[in-house]
Structure 1
Amino acid sequence: MNPTSRSLHSLQTVLFGGAVVVSASGIGLCWQHPAEAALEDSPKVIVDEAWQLVNRHYVDETFNKTDWKETRRELLSRNYTSTKQAYTALREALQPLNDPYTRFMAPSEYESLTSQTSGELSGVGIRMEINKKTKVLTVVEPLPGSPATKAGLTAGDRIIEIDGKPTAKLDIKESSKLIRGQSGTQVKFLIQRKGTKKFEVAIERAVIELSAVTSRIQREGGNRIGYIRLNEFSAHASEQIKAAIERLTAEKADGFVLDLRGNPGGLLNASIDIADMWLDRGLIVRTVNRQGTNENVKARTKSLTQKPLAVLVDGNSASSSEILTGALQDNGRAKVIGSTTFGKALVQSVHQLSDGSGLAVTVAHYYTPKGTDINHKGITPDIQVKLSEGQKILLSTNPKMLATFSDPHYTQAIRTLQQGIRAQKGQPDSTVINKAVVPKAFHQN
């Protein structure tokens, strides 16, 4: 790991696009005003912790031309009768920064965010859906090795009750909330299985690693295409991508499609690590902090494969997705196909405050290897493929259509890859595209 990479890891920097990494604030509070004498027993402690973090790390040293010290004076001069009042005051104080990515999170919001980023949850390990025909909450699949599998749950089992609460009027989110809980505790299900009477089963919750990656070989013409879809850059994303590349390579993939469509981003380090898996050399990303200090992160290991690569993106590919896409595009490692990406070129650091709440602070601006600032602009694909409204609706409402002949982005990717594969094999020009199907993404618990 090079010095630049080490410094980025130690800062716990992330791209805020739906997933983050946690770092304790670790700051000392500075008492500079008589009104601060009673801080220790008031919500002002949280207010000042948050103010100090913004004051120390925010990327714009002018704080969007606001008097940040006066903001602190005003915050600490107020009498807060509850933490809720303090939270409201903090959110209001951050608004003049005009930065939606620098934000305060109540403890429940912070817990939800960090749980998403961890790529783990405490539950029983099932994918479930509300069956379209029966309208009953149904097990789609128990995850391999999970508590649900060990307890004997199988695909098709109908979940009638969770801890005595009927599921008939619950949606997926409400059902999931009942199933999840502290590792080591139990949750009871009333199950209806075809051919049997209803029965109860108690399952002990455990920490379950969530998959952010879908991958498989698809036969397109005479070629074997390694299709990899990455949903978010969670803590386990890079190891899951590595495993997918290695497995598909062992299955003799002739080329790869990396699908980042709809991926809102996540951990900065995950995007760097994944870019490194495709690159032998070259710059991955450049960040600039408030002092104007540049940090260049370069590829540091041998790539896992040299096979041709196409990357699929759309307007919802953001943050870490754009870092990875920019690195592969600027280094000539992949052809980018789809529509212009979201356009978020800011880096956040996320901190836990002493009462369990959290604060995300924009700490740097990033640029692609060629120095392009994509903020509010996005990355323009090498090959732009515009979808009709009908096609957008089809793909968004029918996940099984992704990466099939009904998916124009994927179809173009195959055309592009086949050219690269033929060139690599020294074969004559010929294009054939076969139909492929992507498994539906189900809720995991």
Structure 2
Amino acid sequence: MDITKRGLVLGSTAFAVAAMTVTGAGMHLSKGQAFFQESPKELVDEVWQLINRTYVDATFNQVDWQSVRQEYLGRNYTSREEAYTAIREMLELLGDPYTRFMNPAEFRDMQVDTSGELTGVGIQLSQDEETKELVVVAPIEDTPASQAGILARDVITKINDQTTEGMDVNQAVSLIRGPVGTEVTLTIRRGDQELEFKLQRARIELHPVRYSLQDSSLGKVGYIRLNQFSANASEEMKEAIQDLERQQATGYVLDLRSNPGGLLYASIDIARMWLNEGVIVSTVDRQGIAEQERANGSALTDKPLVVLVDGGSASASEILSGALQDNGRAVLVGTQTFGKGLVQSVRGLGDGSGLAVTVAKYLTPSGRDINKQGIEPNVLVELTDEQRETLSQNRDQIGTLADPQYARALEALRQEIAAHRQRRAESLP
């Protein structure tokens, strides 16, 4: 795959719900960009060529891609906007919501989002592949959305009284975002309820890692909550583990609930902090060529680990949790994860716009294709709607005994600590 690994993004955020690699154009208008402004048909052809060369399915989901080229290049375009509309129509023929076009403003937003700071209400969105509804993957902690009580799996039916029927993720994001301090109203369907949330937009600085050392009957438990795999997640995770090791934690609970994903390299780096050996993830392209990322002997701890996951744990979260589960490094507690296993390459185009192309799928170390399936935890712990509401409204209870999934994780950790001590005792001369 012609992708740069450190640019790979595995996310389910307001800008994406799959893996991506960011390459190509910068932000300034170059001679090449001026050319594309004057020749919008060339932009249409550039997009077609990229799909033709790299799309994961060589049949293009049973679409005659050559005929598509003839049709769309046979048209006359008088403006970039007309070309943008044609490109979006062309990509819709693939039936793949994760292969999508971004105009220059949307492309800049995507690049900002992966940097660890954004402006908005703090919602990660996806589009259901079958119903085409806009679904909340997860609200980001300590943002207007999470504080208002929006939950994973909520369906957004209206934005400021405008129906979202037929709306894609990019269009929704452009409506939800706006100047800091202004308001946006979201109408949500949750089960058979219709709810309305009036949210004030804010500048959101993402601190992906929170951690604490908690005294318990097990000894000192290191609790680490990872909210997103952003650019600073690896460094913050390293600092957390090293600090907790200095404080002599006896075991760890890693909380990936409602973590929608982010940068692939962050998930690989973090997996290596927990794994000394073994495969972390494999990616398979349209030729069936698999590339593997492996642990490299750089684990920061070998102490017992339990990982919390739920339906809001997606993409990069599923790579990390799948790697830890398949290698026998951790016990997973919670509910089935989101199920996003596609890799996208995101490229800058000649006029400052961008294109996300599904170029591969990823597999867990045991070869599981989790796309649409998700990862099943070792220990299933469902929360009632009432419990979810309570935790949403009382964020300080997350990661405490008032959190039923965390309480069950401590039970699993107790068993892991006992087994770990037994193995160490047996290895002594």
Instruction: Name the TM-score, length of structure 2 as normaliser.
Output: 0.73
What amino acid is aligned across from residue 229 of structure 1 in structure 2? R
Shift of 1:329: 0.0
Structure 1 residues 10 and 311 mapped into 2: Cα distance closer, same or farther (>3 Å)? closer
Q: Is the 8 A contact 2:280 2:294 kept in 1?
A: yes
SS in 1 for 2:93: helix
* Equivalence for 1:248: 244
The number of residue pairs the alignment matches comes to 342
* Equivalence for 2:284: 288
* Equivalence for 2:22: 22
What amino acid is aligned across from residue 290 of structure 2 in structure 1? N
Structure 1 residues 68 and 8 mapped into 2: Cα distance closer, same or farther (>3 Å)? closer
Alignment RMSD (CA, Å) = 2.9
* Equivalence for 1:228: 224
Shift of 1:355: 1.7
- In 1, Cα distance between the equivalents of 2:143 and 2:344? 34
Shift of 1:40: 7.1
* Equivalence for 1:108: 105
Unaligned runs of 5+ in 1: 27-37, 131-164, 181-208, 428-445
Q: Deviations over 1:336-367 (max 9, x none)?
A: 00000111111111111122211111111111
1:253-264 correspondence to structure 2 within 5 Å:
253-264=249-260
Q: Is the 8 A contact 1:25 1:53 kept in 2?
A: no
- In 2, Cα distance between the equivalents of 1:375 and 1:167? 37
* Equivalence for 2:192: none
Instruction: Select which of 403, 409, 424 maps to 2:405.
Output: 409
Q: Deviations over 1:134-192 (max 9, x none)?
A: xxxxxxxxxxxxxxxxxxxxxxxxxxxxxxx996979875453xxx9xxxxxxxxxxxx
Matched, 1:62 2:59: yes
Structure 1 residues 286 and 98 mapped into 2: Cα distance closer, same or farther (>3 Å)? same
Unaligned runs of 5+ in 2: 27-34, 120-140, 145-178, 185-197, 424-429
Q: Which moved more, 1:216-225 or 1:60-69?
A: 216-225
Shift of 1:295: 1.2
Instruction: Select which of 17, 30, 41 maps to 1:44.
Output: 41
SS in 2 for 1:311: strand
- In 2, Cα distance between the equivalents of 1:266 and 1:308? 25
What amino acid is aligned across from residue 101 of structure 1 in structure 2? Y
Shift of 1:412: 0.7
* Equivalence for 1:369: 365
- In 2, Cα distance between the equivalents of 1:120 and 1:238? 16
Shift of 1:42: 2.3
Q: Is the 8 A contact 2:36 2:43 kept in 1?
A: no
- In 2, Cα distance between the equivalents of 1:275 and 1:354? 36
SS in 2 for 1:415: helix
Q: Is the 8 A contact 1:309 1:333 kept in 2?
A: yes
Shift of 1:396: 2.2
What amino acid is aligned across from residue 370 of structure 1 in structure 2? S
Q: Is the 8 A contact 1:271 1:321 kept in 2?
A: yes
Q: Is the 8 A contact 2:314 2:337 kept in 1?
A: yes
Q: Which moved more, 1:415-424 or 1:62-71?
A: 415-424
SS in 1 for 2:280: strand
Q: Is the 8 A contact 1:16 1:267 kept in 2?
A: yes
- In 2, Cα distance between the equivalents of 1:378 and 1:408? 22
Structure 1 residues 166 and 10 mapped into 2: Cα distance closer, same or farther (>3 Å)? closer
Structure 1 residues 304 and 8 mapped into 2: Cα distance closer, same or farther (>3 Å)? farther
* Equivalence for 1:152: none
- In 2, Cα distance between the equivalents of 1:337 and 1:369? 19
SS in 2 for 1:341: coil
- In 1, Cα distance between the equivalents of 2:320 and 2:5? 20
Structure 1 residues 173 and 345 mapped into 2: Cα distance closer, same or farther (>3 Å)? same
* Equivalence for 1:75: 72
Please identify the structure whose Cα radius of gyration is greater: 1
SS in 2 for 1:354: coil
SS in 1 for 2:359: strand
- In 1, Cα distance between the equivalents of 2:305 and 2:235? 19
SS in 2 for 1:246: helix
What amino acid is aligned across from residue 22 of structure 1 in structure 2? V
Q: Is the 8 A contact 1:9 1:269 kept in 2?
A: no
Shift of 1:249: 1.0
Q: Is the 8 A contact 1:335 1:382 kept in 2?
A: yes
* Equivalence for 2:176: none
